[in-house]
């Protein structure tokens, strides 16, 4: 019997049972944690936010770790306002009117040496609720699987109102929209359409749901002081994704033609990567933000090419530092425009090259779809995959031709001027004036340019 019991114990996966009691007046979470089937002696944070936690003894040797007290439950307090001082965004904590949005790894402690599942229960005062991308039991307890804890989730807590779960096509996939409940000028229907129209555009692109997750896509909307429809957004795209979208509380329209929801929600379908390389995730998303708006008709073909051409002319050419270097040091140099639009310019050049190589039967769209369902790639593997897709025999009109390593590696490492003008000219893209651009249908690649923004184009 003993041996049998021991075998069962060894087989059981460790679990952390977490009870969270928020005190929103103090902007604090009081947490009790009980463990099952775990014998470790230390609990650690995945983010460097130990200064936001009180009530536990810091580990003498290990940063962002705490000693396990002799007795359970462990009790500790997380200060949301201190988390926000680390960074005022949901990757740490953002205060959004009467609610908070914070990252789960700021309050869930990893059981050292174990892959533990979390059972998280919130004890909430009247009028306060939570929203998270996790499955929930009838009593409100959330389950955070080992895999989901590894990729991270946003948790919304405060005065929230659900805008419902909507099933979208193509792909028949659900999105659950939660609103931070505050006065706003837009109608609920406008906000729902802001999210769902963008997701439907992406579902058309990916031939189905942009996420490989199984649960409803978790979207939290919050109003901020602005008259713009879309203001800002942030996405955790891996596993079951989490999305935050900020809109202008004073906006009465403009949601149909806004770019923020199109951009942010496209991130959900970005290829899986090992490590971060913004030239791909931000750059390619920036390219498709314009292309997909033109395809869905929420921006005219002419206006989309005007934005693309102007931004390529301004930011595609390196300024002495390569795109690869600017991308790797984005957090220090904040060259956002150069990384976003330099990456978009690479996406554009690859798109043209792939279309030329395949005589119009393939495009970057196909490569993006294939990469999305493929293995996680590191930066080098991603560059090699893109170089393979583009091939080596691309048109001479491509700026600077193609470096021996390939189009993507050449573009990423180029430090000298990268002249995009010949390629724009071949596509019939001329001078920009205001929001419009001179497009010529007689140019050698004019047909290709039209195919790029065609609805449901290849």
Radius of gyration of the chain (CA): 24
Separation CA 201–CA 207 (nearest Å): 10
Instruction: Show the beta-strand stretches assigned E in 373-444.
Output: 429-433, 436-439
Structure tokens given for 75 = 């009790």
Interacting stretch for Zn ion, rule CB under 5 A, among 69-77, 202-210, 274-282, 365-373? 274-282
Binding window for Zn ion (CB under 5 A); candidates: 23-31, 252-260, 276-284, 446-454: 276-284
Helix (H, G, I), strand (E, B) or coil at 108: coil
Shortest Å distance, C-beta 236 to Zn ion: 12
Query: CB 368 → Zn ion: shortest distance, Å?
Result: 15
* Cα(364)–Cα(358) distance, integer angstroms: 11
- Residue 278: CB minimum distance to Zn ion, A: 8
Q: How far is the CB of 267 from Zn ion (least distance, A)?
A: 6
CB of 266 to Zn ion, least distance (A): 8
Helix (H, G, I), strand (E, B) or coil at 227: coil
Closer by beta carbon to Zn ion, 282 or else 426: 282
Would you say 121 or 237 has its CB closer to Zn ion?
237
Task: Give the span between the Cα atoms of 56 and 39, in whole angstroms.
Answer: 18
Pairwise CA distance, residues 417 & 10, whole Å: 62
How many CB atoms neighbour CB 186 within 10 A? 21
Residue nearest to Zn ion (CB): 282
Compare residues 100 and 266 and give the one whose CB is closer to Zn ion.
266
Closest to Zn ion by CB, 181 or 282:
282
Pick the closer one to Zn ion by CB: 72 or 336: 336
> Do 327 and 278 contact (CB within 8 A), yes or no?
yes
Contact (CB, 8 A) for 291 and 453: yes
Helix (H) or strand (E) holding 381: helix 379-390
What's the angle, vertex CA 260, arms to CA 259 and CA 266, rounded to 5?
90
CB of 210 to Zn ion, least distance (A): 14
From 278-286, 305-313, 438-446, 447-455, span contacting Zn ion (CB under 5 A): 278-286
Size of the site for Zn ion (CB under 5 A): 1
CB of 339 to Zn ion, least distance (A): 11
Query: To which residue do tokens 């500790």 refer?
Result: 76
Binding string, 231-270, against Zn ion, x = CB under 5 A?
----------------------------------------
Least gap, CB of 289 to Zn ion (angstroms)? 9
Q: 282 or 414, CB closer to Zn ion?
A: 282
Q: Which of these ranges, 51-59, 186-194, 280-288, 381-389, lies near Zn ion under the rule CB under 5 A?
A: 280-288
As given in the structure block, the two tokens for residue 12 are 């059981």
Q: Please choose, out of 186-194, 202-210, 282-290, 379-387, the segment that lies near Zn ion by the rule CB under 5 A.
A: 282-290
Closest CA to 234 of 224, 244, 242, 246: 244
CB of 340 to Zn ion, least distance (A): 8
The distance from CA 226 to its chain's CA centroid, rounded to whole angstroms, is 23
Stretch touching Zn ion by CB under 5 A, among 80-88, 281-289, 398-406, 428-436:
281-289
The residue among 20 and 199 lying less far from Zn ion, judged by its C-beta, is 199
How open is the CA angle 347-350-354, to the nearest 5 degrees?
A: 140
Tell which residue, 202, 211, 199, 257, has the closest CA to residue 237. Answer: 211
Question: Which stretch, 164-172, 182-190, 277-285, 423-431, contacts Zn ion (CB under 5 A)?
Answer: 277-285
The residue (of 192 and 243) whose beta carbon lies closer to Zn ion is 243
Please report, as ranges, the residues that interact with Zn ion according to CB under 5 A: 282
């Amino acid at each position: 019997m003993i041996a049998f019991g021991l075998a069962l114990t060894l087989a059981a996966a460790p679990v952390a049972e977490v009870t969270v009691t928020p005190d929103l007046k103090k902007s604090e979470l009081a947490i009790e944690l009980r463990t099952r089937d775990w014998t470790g002696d230390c609990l650690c944070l995945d983010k460097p936010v130990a200064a936001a936690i009180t009530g536990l003894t810091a580990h003498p040797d290990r940063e962002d770790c705490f000693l396990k007290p002799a007795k359970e439950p462990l009790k500790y307090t997380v200060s949301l306002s201190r988390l926000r001082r680390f960074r005022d965004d949901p990757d740490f904590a953002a205060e959004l009117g009467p609610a908070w949005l914070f990252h789960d790894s700021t309050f869930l402690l990893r059981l050292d040496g174990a892959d533990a599942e979390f059972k998280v229960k919130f004890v909430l005062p009247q009028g306060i609720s939570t929203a998270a991308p996790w499955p929930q039991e009838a009593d409100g307890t959330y389950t955070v699987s080992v895999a989901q804890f590894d990729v991270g989730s946003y948790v919304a807590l405060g005065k929230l109102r659900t805008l419902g779960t909507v099933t979208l096509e193509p792909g028949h996939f659900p999105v659950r929209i939660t609103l931070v409940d505050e006065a706003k000028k837009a109608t609920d229907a406008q906000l729902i359409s802001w999210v769902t129209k963008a997701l439907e555009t992406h579902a058309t692109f990916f031939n189905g749901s942009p996420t490989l997750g199984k649960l409803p896509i978790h979207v939290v909307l919050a109003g901020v002081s602005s008259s713009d429809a879309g203001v800002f957004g942030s996405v955790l795209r891996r596993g079951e994704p989490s999305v935050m979208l900020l809109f202008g509380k004073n906006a009465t329209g403009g949601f149909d033609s806004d770019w923020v929801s199109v951009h942010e929600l496209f991130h959900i379908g970005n290829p899986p990567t090992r490590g971060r390389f913004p030239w791909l995730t931000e750059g390619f998303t920036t390219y498709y933000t314009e292309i997909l708006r033109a395809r869905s008709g929420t921006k005219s073909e002419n206006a989309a090419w005007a934005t693309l051409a102007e931004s390529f002319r301004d930011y595609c050419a390196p300024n002495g530092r390569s795109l690869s270097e600017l991308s790797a040091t984005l957090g220090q140099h904040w060259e956002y425009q150069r990384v976003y639009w330099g990456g978009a310019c690479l996406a554009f050049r690859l798109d043209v090259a792939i279309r030329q190589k395949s005589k119009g039967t393939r495009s970057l769209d196909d490569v993006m779809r294939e990469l999305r369902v493929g293995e996680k790639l590191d930066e080098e593997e991603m560059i090699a995959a893109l170089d393979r897709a583009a091939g080596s025999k691309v048109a001479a009109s491509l700026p600077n031709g193609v470096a021996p390593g390939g189009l993507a590696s050449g573009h990423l490492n180029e430090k000298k001027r990268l002249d995009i003008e010949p390629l724009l000219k071949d596509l019939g893209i001329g001078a920009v004036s205001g929001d419009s651009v001179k497009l010529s249908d007689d140019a050698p690649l004019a047909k290709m340019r039209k195919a790029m923004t065609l609805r449901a184009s290849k």
